[in-house]
Amino acid sequence: MKVLANDGLAQSGVTALEAAGFEVILTTVAQEQLENYINEEGIDVILVRSATTVRQELIDACPSIKIIGRGGVGMDNIDVQYAKDQGLHVINTPAASSHSVAELVFAHFSGLARFVHDSNRNMPLEGETNFKGLKKAYAGGVELKGRTLGVLGFGRIGQATAAVALRLGMKVVAFDPFMDSASISLDFIDGQKIDINIDTISKEDVLKQADFLTLHVPAQDEYVIGSKEIETMKDGAFIANAARGGVVDEVALLAALESGKLSGAALDVFETEPKPAVQVLMNNKVSLTPHIGAATGEAQDRIGGELATQIIELLK
């Protein structure tokens, strides 16, 4: 059987699949050529990340496909229900990248709290000639310890982000329409473990309490954070979006940053991805990464292994 990993697959997954007798193809096929390639090669399994889409037309045109796999959590680039209705298996790896995304959120928050993102822009330009001026400009940072993290969307990634916050000494408040509470396990390097239970509260209360707000929600038809929600937030708060582009109104976000309502924002995903708005890219209160939440070696190894396990169980 043939597996096409069109957006790549970690060696852990390749090794496991090949050991089970699968042929793994790592060729990246252009979207417009995918139908012909799948049919010519007789592909049984197609694995994607966020770059490749698997829509109804492709599913209908490629009868050899038995499994569609997404290396990650969100599956908005796959017509999931239609595929299932046609008898296909649709799989993903909801737990594998959670901690990597959580660490990225806090890389952004830590940098924003101490102006690291902007200092790294200006030190190469002015560090030699304006050292004292830059030192003064970046002297008003804040600590994360003792602050409140608000989490919108308290699934696996939201809980992993909460765990990082708790380790830093932050208070955590969370909203999730499908969950009343969650138990967060804090595992330490020496084998000790602490479980902390967090009851979810209303979205409005999270917005009111959060010093730092992070979103971990699926793609939506409407903004989760718009001008109304931003007005509800604390003055000087920070926002991070490492979920999906389009859940934050970037126009409203930039307006809030310019007015001083918000102190900073972190974006790993964008409304117009893969061509983010220039106004977003150039704003010195925005910390930026190019959709790399799950892009760690550890996460990709876990993703590869989980995908391989599921494929083997389904087809062998």
291 is catalytic: yes
Backbone angles phi, psi at 47, to 5 degrees: -110, 135
C-alpha closest to that of 45 among 21, 25, 15: 25
Q: Which of 49, 147, 244, 302 is catalytic?
A: 244
CA separation for the pair 58, 200 (Å, rounded)? 40
Residue type, 180: D
Positive or negative CA dihedral for 40, 41, 42, 43?
negative
* 204-207 long-range Cβ contacts below 8 angstroms, 24+ apart: 204/232, 205/173, 205/175, 206/150, 206/151, 206/152, 206/173, 206/174, 206/175, 207/150, 207/232, 207/233
Cβ atoms within 10 Å, residue 91: 21
* Catalytic, out of 35, 103, 273, 298: 273
Let me know how long the chain is. 316
DSSP calls for 221-255: SS-SB-HHHHHHSPTTEEEEE-S-TTSB-HHHHHH
Q: Which of 99, 291, 302, 306 is catalytic?
A: 291
Alpha helices in 98-232 (DSSP H): 98-113, 116-126, 131-137, 156-167, 203-209, 227-232
Q: Does residue 244 carry a catalytic annotation? A: yes
Positions marked catalytic: 244, 273, 291
